[in-house]
């Protein structure tokens, strides 16, 4: 068998796999009439065992809830870099959707974690790439970003530093390694794949040009405790991330804040708990990034699942300062007698039904009613 | 003995009172098994509704009080109001072209292009002492000297007695090292300038700036910052005479181009008099050694919104060559000067047609649909 024949067979195999992976699921649901494409987050096992192309194309890493509501997937491997294999893999899938016309009526991307950065990079470059490929760019109408990591995370900063230096304190090295499933004492930083792109400076250097796609952000601040079999301990990654975080991503990233500061909320007026109070929020937001909901009980992983973890609050940001939007609110006020020293007083605001439904179903039901 | 009895009496009364308080505490504040108290502040603190009916607290998971606002379709009005607010904000953003967005003092990312976000690193062999390597940018031109600083922080209360006597810095990439630079300074801050010759001694690409600290206890410790070194593929060398073209202020730009490609040229326009931010400009230009010029534009809608007739200053350049194909690396460019003067014109020199963003209408319709709930 000649090399040309082998390449031909391999190309054919890949095309068949791609076609199978891209075969659209029966369009079971859309968001406000638009098809949904899912962009999953970082899969840690990718670093230990890089997936094959076939595995990447057929993987379903977002929650079953969103899988049931999606028409397409842009999958990728965490062992690759944004500007390398990730861009190639995502574009291959996008070309299939462009040929199918899946987004001719406009698609909504639903992203989780690093999927935020993957989507941003793709959206900034796809017009040129599609044009060069003789195809029409996918029309992306909006994104819903869960726990978006597009602003980078301190965990990646520590992981890369740990892989680069023997002087990083062992507990930090262990904790960052545990998150990635690696021993950072023996890992070369170049083997960290997309984690290198998740360093705060690096993430914020990728595809940051303003564009017209509205990005709706959903941010969590939970996961304080981790079950270790003998009970619960404070989640160690929380101690490594500046400001509020969901155990993996800091609030400045998931909220879409303009600056990488250690903010404690997506709003200066409402805490993650829903309490109306003055809090260190973002001074500005990335262009067309809009934090919508915050949740103190959800963490980085369960925020995208159909699980209920306490009430969620909406972000009182007054995006258009000076417009004087008069929010109709759902509030509860706590008062206390003088001896009830344990009570926290104040006013909390919540999204109706979030006490009984998952954050995802609150979003979907709200947007799709 | 009488004092002792009184003390016992007081303790007893306090204990009884405390027990009563615990007993009368709203039973609904007891959480069902597995509930997350941290996520539900009302669950750990008795909550009343907006009328202040203290003690009538709903339990976690119970329905909200009757004063909550809902629409008939079951969607909370607050969510609608928020989505309506977002749609309004989006519509306001869409009034301005992507090529000339209004620039404000809180646009940190636009005002600090390609920023290096410093990381404060704890040192394994100097408890309580942290070091931070600070450079101007994450993406660095190999042809320019680069200031570098190492800042030290001692965590209060750690009793850290270790200090730093000397700091040296070098670049390191794939086993290659630049010459070592000794920083000047003492105490909490050491600084120096990495010469272009050092930057050019390692290949372009991701590179570690390694700072080695010689500690007062005789040990050494390393901290590093990652940067990305580049060889400029296009260089902004000159701005031509500005002119008014309809509703746009047009700024001709000339480049030296060493690698042809599709470049995204971004820069910030400031009012020269007050140094107030006016607009973030972006232009997609196809540049090559044969085609070395392009136009930056500012729409009058932005200039009028900022009440900025000029003259202006253009700076904070962020020039990138976009990848031609997926998998290609982004290239970078630079500017010959830190800033360029830009002539302005009276605001009534521009025509008054509003900017229409052809791509925004459908997205705005989507947001409005979410706000309407239909």
Number of domains in chain A: 1
Nearest to B82 by CA among A201, A356, A350, A31: A350
Residues B106-150 pLDDT 10s: 999 999 999 999 999 888 888 888 999 999 999 999 999 999 999
- Average of per-residue pLDDT across B48-71: 32
> Nearest residue of B to residue A204 by CA position?
B114
pLDDT (tens digit per residue) in A192-239? 999 999 999 999 999 999 889 999 999 999 988 776 666 666 777 888
Q: Would you state the torsion angle of the CA atoms of residues B327, B227, A259, B86, taken in this order, to the nearest 10 degrees?
A: -10
Q: Are residues B191 and B283 in the same domain?
A: no
Same-domain check for residues B195 and B292: no
Which residues fall within 8 angstroms of residue B112, CB to CB, at 6 or more apart? B316
Query: To the nearest whole angstrom, how far is the Cα of A292 from the nearest Cα of chain B?
Result: 8
Tell me whether B370 touches chain A (CB under 8 Å). Answer: yes
Domain contains B139: yes
**Which residues is B220 bridged to in the sheet?**
B214
Q: A319 or B256, which is more confident?
A: B256
Contact A97, A37 (CB under 8 A): yes
Contacts of A350 in chain B (CB under 8 A): 64
- Split into its structural domains, chain B has a count of 3
For residue B9, pLDDT over 80 is answered with: no
Instruction: Kindly state whether residues B176 and B268 are assigned to the same domain.
Output: no
Given this model, what pLDDT does residue A177 score? 82
Q: Is residue B363 part of a domain?
A: no
- CATH code of B168's domain: 2.60.40.1930
- Return the residue in A310, A313, A315 with the most chain B beta carbons within 10 A, the one to mutate for interface testing: A310
pLDDT of amino acid B8 = 53
pLDDT tens digit sequence for A155-168 = 999 988 888 777 77
The stretch B74-103 carries a mean pLDDT of 85
Strands A215-220 and A140-146: parallel
Which one of B230, B248, B276 terminates a domain? Answer: B230
Q: Among all residues of chain A, which has the CA nearest to that of B64?
A: A352
Looking up tokens 């690093």 gives: A114
Position A267 confidence tier, pLDDT thresholds 50, 70, 90? very high
Are B268 and B177 found together in one domain? no
Same domain, B206 and B220: yes
Claim to verify: residue B162 and residue B247 sit in the same structural domain: no
Classify residue B297: in a domain, yes or no.
Answer: yes
Q: Are residues B267 and B168 in the same domain?
A: no
pLDDT of B340 > 90? The answer is: yes
Q: Tell me the C-alpha distance between A35 and A100, whole Å.
A: 12
The minimal CB distance from B138 to the residues A205, A286, A315 is found for A205
What is the pLDDT at residue B156? 76
Whether B136 is in a domain gets the answer yes
Residue A332 has its nearest CB partner, among B50, B228, B264, at: B50
Angle in degrees, CA B364, B80, B52, rounded to 5:
155
Contact A319 B86 (CB under 8 A): yes
Q: A326-362 pLDDT, tens per residue? A: 333 455 666 666 666 666 777 777 887 788 889 998 8
- Cα separation, A172 vs A194, in Å, equals 20
- B322 belongs to a structural domain: yes
User: Which of A98, A151, A167, A364 is the best substitution to test chain B (most B C-beta atoms within 10 A)?
Assistant: A167
Task: Enter the pTM of the model.
Answer: 0.85
Residues of chain B neighbouring A210 (CB-CB closer than 8 A): 98, 101, 280, 282
Higher pLDDT, A202 or B42: A202
A105 found inside a domain: yes
Q: What is the pLDDT of residue A150?
A: 97
Q: Residue B39 sits in which domain range?
A: 1-63
Per-residue pLDDT at B37 exceeds 60: no
pLDDT of amino acid B53: 27
Q: Is residue B119 part of a domain?
A: no
Check CB contact under 8 Å for B322 and A330: no
Same domain assignment for residues B258 and B282: yes
Q: Is residue A33 part of a domain?
A: yes
Q: Residues 33-52, chain B: which have Cβ within 8 Å of A?
A: 35-36, 38-42, 44-50, 52
Q: Which range of residues forms the domain containing residue A195? A: 3-151+190-368
Chosen for mutation from A160, A366, A368 (greatest number of chain B CBs closer than 10 Å) is A366
DSSP string, A197-237: HTSHHHHTTSS----S--EEEEEE----EEE-SSSEEE-GG
Kind and range of the H or E run holding B332? strand B331-335
Q: List CB contacts (< 8 A) between B122 and chain A.
A: 168-169, 172
The answer to whether residue A140 scores a pLDDT higher than 80 is: yes
Say how many CA atoms lie within 13 Å of A313 toward its Cβ.
Answer: 27
Q: What integer is the mean pLDDT of B48-57? A: 28
Say if A170 falls within a structural domain: no
**Distance between CA B331 and CA A84 in Å, rounded?**
14
Same domain, B223 and B237: no
The partner residue sitting opposite B138, judged by closest CB among A201, A211, A343, is A201
Query: Would you mind telling me the total number of residues written for chain A in this entry?
Result: 369
Residue B373 lies in a domain: no
């Amino acid at each position: 068998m000649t090399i040309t024949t082998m390449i031909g067979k391999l190309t054919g195999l890949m095309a068949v796999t791609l076609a199978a992976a891209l075969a659209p699921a029966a369009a079971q649901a859309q968001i406000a009439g638009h098809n949904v494409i899912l962009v999953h987050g970082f899969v840690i096992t990718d670093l230990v065992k890089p997936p094959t192309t076939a595995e990447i194309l057929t993987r379903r890493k977002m929650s079953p809830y969103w899988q049931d509501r999606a028409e397409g997937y842009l999958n990728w491997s965490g062992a690759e870099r944004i500007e390398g294999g990730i861009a190639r893999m995502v574009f291959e899938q996008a070309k299939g959707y462009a040929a199918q016309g899946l987004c001719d009526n406009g698609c909504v991307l639903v992203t989780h974690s690093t999927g935020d950065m993957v989507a941003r990079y793709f959206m900034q470059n796809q017009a040129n790439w599609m044009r060069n490929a003789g195809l029409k760019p996918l029309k992306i109408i909006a994104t819903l970003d869960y726990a978006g990591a597009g602003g980078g995370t301190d965990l990646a900063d520590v992981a890369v530093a740990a892989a680069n230096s023997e002087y990083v304190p062992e507990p930090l090295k262990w904790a960052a390694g545990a998150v990635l499933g690696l021993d950072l004492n023996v890992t070369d930083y170049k083997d960290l794949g997309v984690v290198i792109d998740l360093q705060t400076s690096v993430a914020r250097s990728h595809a940051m040009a303003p564009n017209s796609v509205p990005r709706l952000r959903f941010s969590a601040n939970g996961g304080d405790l981790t079950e270790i079999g003998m009970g619960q301990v404070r989640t160690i990654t929380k101690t490594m991330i500046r400001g509020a975080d969901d155990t993996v991503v800091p609030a400045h990233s998931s909220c879409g804040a303009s600056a990488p500061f250690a903010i404690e909320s997506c709003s200066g007026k409402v805490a993650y708990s829903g309490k109306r109070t003055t809090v260190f929020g973002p001074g500005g937001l990335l262009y067309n990034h809009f934090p919508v909901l915050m949740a103190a009980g959800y963490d980085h992983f369960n925020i995208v699942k159909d699980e209920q973890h306490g009430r969620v609050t909406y972000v009182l940001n007054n995006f258009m300062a000076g417009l004087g939007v008069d929010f109709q609110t759902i509030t509860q006020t706590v008062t206390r007698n003088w001896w009830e020293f344990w009570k926290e007083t104040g006013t909390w605001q919540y999204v109706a039904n979030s006490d009984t439904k998952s954050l995802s179903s609150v979003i979907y039901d709200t947007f799709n009613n | 003995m009488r004092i002792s009895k009184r003390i016992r009496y007081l303790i007893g009364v306090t204990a009884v009172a405390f027990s009563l308080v615990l007993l009368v505490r709203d039973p609904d504040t007891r959480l069902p098994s597995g509930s997350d108290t941290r996520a539900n502040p009302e669950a750990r603190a008795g909550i009343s509704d907006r009328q202040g009916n203290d003690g009538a607290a709903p339990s976690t998971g119970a329905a909200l009080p009757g004063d909550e606002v809902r629409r008939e379709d079951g969607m909370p009005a607050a969510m609608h109001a928020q989505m309506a607010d977002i749609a309004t904000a989006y519509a306001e953003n869409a009034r301005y072209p992507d090529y000339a967005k209004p620039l404000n003092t809180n646009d940190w990312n636009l005002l600090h292009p390609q920023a290096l976000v410093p990381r404060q690193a704890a040192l394994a062999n100097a408890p309580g002492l942290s070091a931070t390597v600070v450079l101007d940018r994450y993406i660095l031109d190999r042809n320019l000297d680069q200031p570098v600083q190492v800042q030290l922080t001692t965590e209060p209360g750690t009793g850290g007695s270790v200090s730093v006597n000397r700091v040296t810095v070098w670049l390191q990439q794939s086993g290659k090292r630049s010459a070592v630079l000794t920083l000047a300074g003492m105490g909490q801050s050491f600084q120096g300038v990495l010469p272009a010759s050092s930057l050019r001694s390692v290949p372009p690409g991701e590179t570690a700036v390694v700072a080695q600290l010689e500690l007062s206890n005789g040990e050494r410790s390393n901290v590093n910052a990652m940067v990305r070194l580049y060889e400029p593929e296009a260089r902004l060398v000159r701005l031509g005479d500005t002119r008014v073209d309809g509703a746009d202020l047009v700024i001709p730009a000339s480049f030296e181009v060493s690698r042809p490609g599709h470049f995204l040229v971004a820069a910030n326009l400031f009012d020269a008099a007050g140094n107030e931010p006016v607009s973030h400009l972006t232009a997609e230009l196809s540049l090559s050694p044969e085609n070395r010029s392009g136009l930056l534009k500012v729409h009058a809608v932005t200039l009028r919104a900022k009440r900025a007739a000029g003259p202006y200053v253009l700076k904070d350049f962020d020039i990138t060559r976009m990848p031609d194909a997926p998998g290609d690396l982004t290239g970078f460019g630079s500017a010959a000067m830190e800033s360029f003067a830009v002539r302005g014109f009276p605001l009534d020199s521009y025509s008054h047609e509003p900017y229409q963003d052809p791509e925004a209408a459908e997205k705005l319709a989507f947001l409005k649909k979410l706000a309407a709930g239909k």
